[in-house]
Amino acid sequence: MADKYNEPILNSKVISDDTAVKLAVDKIIEEHLAENKNADVYKFLFNCIDLTTLKSTDSPRSVADFTERVNAFDNEHPDLKNVAAICVYPNFSQVVRTVLDVTDVKVACVSGGFPSSQTFPEVKIAETALAVEGGADEIDIVLNLGNFFDNDYEEVATEIDEIHHACRGARLKVILETGALKTAENIKRASILALYSGADFLKTSTGKEYPGASLEAAYVMIQCIKEYHEKTGRMVGFKCSGGVASTAEAVAYYTLVKEILGEKWLTNQYFRIGASRLANNLLSDILGEETKFF
């Protein structure tokens, strides 16, 4: 393994003992969760949602209808900020771009052989470039877990860098698939590799094959983002996804970001939640009645 990939891992001071991580998370949640259970935080969290449809049955018509609901939200709830982005498969980027009328909602696409990341690097690059050409503002890819577990960190980093180049200005979210990485040490290593390879966001999970987001995984990732920012001055975002469905769960991730990274990260430029069910649950808590808008 080349020193340029090993060195930042070896020099990192981020805690990677699983027991210590859990204790640190429990302390933050116990001390600060309650203060964030309020309508202003719920409204902010709604504005951080990547509203997602990633089904085998998605079609141009269903994705267009999905996008029209986001358009309708602006008209029906003008007092609330809309979701941050609509996230779809890459072949639908042009559909969303064509139908979307809301200027401050981004078009996000999964890419790179999502969700397994098991295809040719050339295909990953081409798929990403085509999604961006179709109108994607943001690209979500999965870190190559096979190469990671083979300790081929150079290949992992090179692939992320090449896909980042193919983004041509679109922001790149790198999904670590923390449920497959399992340990705090693996999550730390994967986070550092992604950060030093050009990731604009670290994202927890696909929500597909493995367990989704956990507060412990988020804690390690957020600490890596903080350390990276202190060393480089570059702000990188954090996105939790995979099973984050309730308002209470969303508030817990918000609490970690607020306490570790601070107010600068409390904007949808740097904090996102990948969700399909969360939007209606948050909206219900904001409005004070059960709502199924999306």
- The catalytic site residues sit at 140, 203, 239
Give strand ranges (E) for 135-247. Answer: 138-142, 171-175, 201-203, 237-241
Report d(CA 232, CA 198) in Å as an integer.
12
**Cβ neighbours of residue 125 under 8 Å, at least 6 residues apart?**
162, 163, 166
Phi and psi at residue 32, in whole multiples of 5°?
-130, -10
CA distance linking residue 204 with residue 179, whole number of Å:
8
Q: Is 286 within 8 Å of 39 (Cβ atoms)?
A: yes
Query: What's the sign of the alpha-carbon dihedral 275, 277, 280, 283?
Result: negative
- Rg, Å, the chain Cα set: 18
Q: Is 265 exposed, middle or buried (0-12, 13-18, 19+ CB in 10 A)?
A: buried
Helix (H, G, I), strand (E, B) or coil at 199: coil
174 and 24 Cβ atoms separated by less than 8 Å: no
Q: 114 near 142, Cβ under 8 Å?
A: yes
Cβ proximity of 73 and 283 under 8 Å: no
Which helix (H) or strand (E) covers residue 128, if one does? helix 121-134
